[in-house]
Amino acid sequence: MDIDVTGARILISKPEWGGFMLTETVVVTWCVMAVLIGVCFVLTRNLQVHPQTKRQVIAEQLVGAIQNLVRTTMGERFLSTWYVPFIGALFALSAGCSLSSMVGAYAPTSDLSTVLGWALLVFVLITFNKLRSNGPLGYLKSYTEPIPIMTPFNIIGEIATPVSMAFRHFGNIASGSVITALIYGGLSALSGMVLGLLPGALGDALSHIPIFAAGIPAVLSLYFDLFSSFLQAFIFCMLTMVYVSDAAGGAE
Amino acid sequence: MEVQAFISIAPWTMIFQIINLLILMVAFKKLLFKPVCAILEKRKAEIEGHYQQAEEAERSARTLQKTYEERMAGAREEADRVIRTATESANAMSAGIVDDARAQAEQIRRRAETEIELERRKAFDEVKGELSGIALDIAQQVIEREVDPKDHEAFIDDFIKNVGEAS
């Protein structure tokens, strides 16, 4: 039996439009976004000053949790900015995209383009904050510190930030799906082999049913899909917050 | 169907994903954070309002209590004053009544004394008249002749006086 380890399927490809292509990644992301926006819409429907529904309590808890995370990691000054919804969206989209593999869809976060795009956005934020806090000259000067000869390493380090973030996230999610696929395939093959030893038509029939593939992959999926999804989303958000608040300098 | 390589970088996918993330950020801001924060602000304002109301109520209660206490103290003073005044006036009145009664009693006594004196004098005069008559009769019998009261007035009077002193 063959196990294909591939990327996302390409749904629409128009090379004449500057290499435009619409892949499964983007479509699944849209579905995840639709679900998340729908959840937001439902949670914040009919809000009351005196909460009467569980929905409102959940919504307030979610907002409070994200605000708290941003406050403790980035500081009070980022609390009333766009960073709070940005971190919330980043966490929700990352976790949601990773979790989409649990319903059988292709996980957009196992596509390097997705996480690299997000990491580039974070890189832009970091650079923007550095430019704002140090000024353009101060920003350029920071590459020559502590000694000018370090400049190439500083540049590499700067670029390494988004690249490492992207590959960490991509590697974890993608490898999880690869391992799940491998174990699933391996267990199916083992099942066919062992049951094929049974004599007569019975063994012939049972060997086509991958009995061993039931159960064990589900337990592994708990780690690779559920736990890893939230963990990687959390790590990505934490790194974003730490890098950005670091770039913004000390408390103003 | 075409399939991407396992590790591949597709610029269009990156652009799409960046835009998707930004769209979700705006959606979260508008749909989740803004309404929830607005509600939380409103709740905070309401709680602060409650606190202010409570403080105001406490302040007014304290003022009211102070006013009452002052008024109570004033009332007590007033009551004391009224009682004192009443006592004084009652004392004065009773003294007046007693004085009046004493004066009246004195007057009555004096009138009674006068009356008694008058009565006594009247009785004395009567007795004197009778006595002079009797004396005349006795004298007439003794001397067996008419005694003219006018001639012997001094004599009779003298006699009566002696009788009066003797009695």
DSSP lists the bridge partners of residue B147 as none
Using a CB–CB cutoff of 8 Å, tell me whether B48 touches chain A: no
SS3 A20: strand
Query: Within 13 A of A251's CA, how many CA atoms are on the CB side?
Result: 7
Q: Are B20 and A41 inside 8 Å of each other by CB?
A: no
Average pLDDT, chain B: 87
| Contacts of B16 by beta carbon, 8 Å cutoff, 6+ apart | A22, A25, A26, A29, A117
| Contacts of A240 by beta carbon, 8 Å cutoff, 6+ apart | A87, A90, A122, A125, A165
Residue A99 lies in a domain: yes
Residue B104 lies in a domain: yes
Residue B72 lies in a domain: yes
Domain with B132 in it:
16-166
pLDDT digits (tens, 9 = 90+) for B39-81: 889 999 999 999 999 999 999 999 999 999 999 999 999 999 9
pLDDT more than 90, % of chain A:
31
C-alpha of B40 from chain center: 60
**Mean of pLDDT values over A222-233:** 87
| Contacts of B140 by beta carbon, 8 Å cutoff, 6+ apart | B146, B147
The domain total for chain B is 1
What is each CA distance from B59 to A238, B51, B66, B67, B68, in whole angstroms?
49, 12, 11, 12, 14
Residues 23-82, chain A, touching B (beta carbon < 8 A): 23, 25-26, 29-30, 33, 36-37, 40-41, 43-44, 47-50, 56, 59-60, 62-63, 82
pLDDT digits (tens, 9 = 90+) for A170-201: 999 888 888 888 888 888 888 777 777 777 77
Residue A40 lies in a domain: no
Distance CA A51, CA A63 (A): 15
Residue A114 lies in a domain: yes
Burial class, A172, CB count within 10 angstroms (exposed 0-12 / middle 13-18 / buried 19+): buried
Report chain A residues whose CB lies below 8 A from the CB of B43. Answer: 49-50
Distance CA A165, CA A205 (A): 48
Residue A92 lies in a domain: yes
DSSP lists the bridge partners of residue A21 as A13
DSSP lists the bridge partners of residue A12 as A22
The domain total for chain A is 1
pLDDT digits (tens, 9 = 90+) for A24-57: 889 999 999 999 999 998 888 888 888 888 888 8
SS3 A17: coil
Burial class, A127, CB count within 10 angstroms (exposed 0-12 / middle 13-18 / buried 19+): middle
Domain with A60 in it:
47-247
What pLDDT sits at residue A49?
Answer: 82
Higher pLDDT, B147 or B111: B111
CA-wise closest residue to A95 among A233, A249, A206: A233
Residue B9 lies in a domain: no
Using a CB–CB cutoff of 8 Å, tell me whether B33 touches chain A: yes
Residue A24 lies in a domain: no
Residue A218 lies in a domain: yes
Distance CA A71, CA A78 (A): 7
Residue B110 lies in a domain: yes
| Contacts of A176 by beta carbon, 8 Å cutoff, 6+ apart | A101, A110, A223, A224, A225, A228
SS3 A148: helix
Q: Which two tokens stand for residue A221?
A: 């999926």
C-alpha of B118 from chain center: 54
Sign of CA dihedral A170, A175, A176, A177: positive
Q: Are B11 and A19 inside 8 Å of each other by CB?
A: yes
Confidence of residue B139 (pLDDT cuts 50, 70, 90): confident
In this structure, the number of other CB atoms found within 10 A of the CB of residue A241 comes to: 22
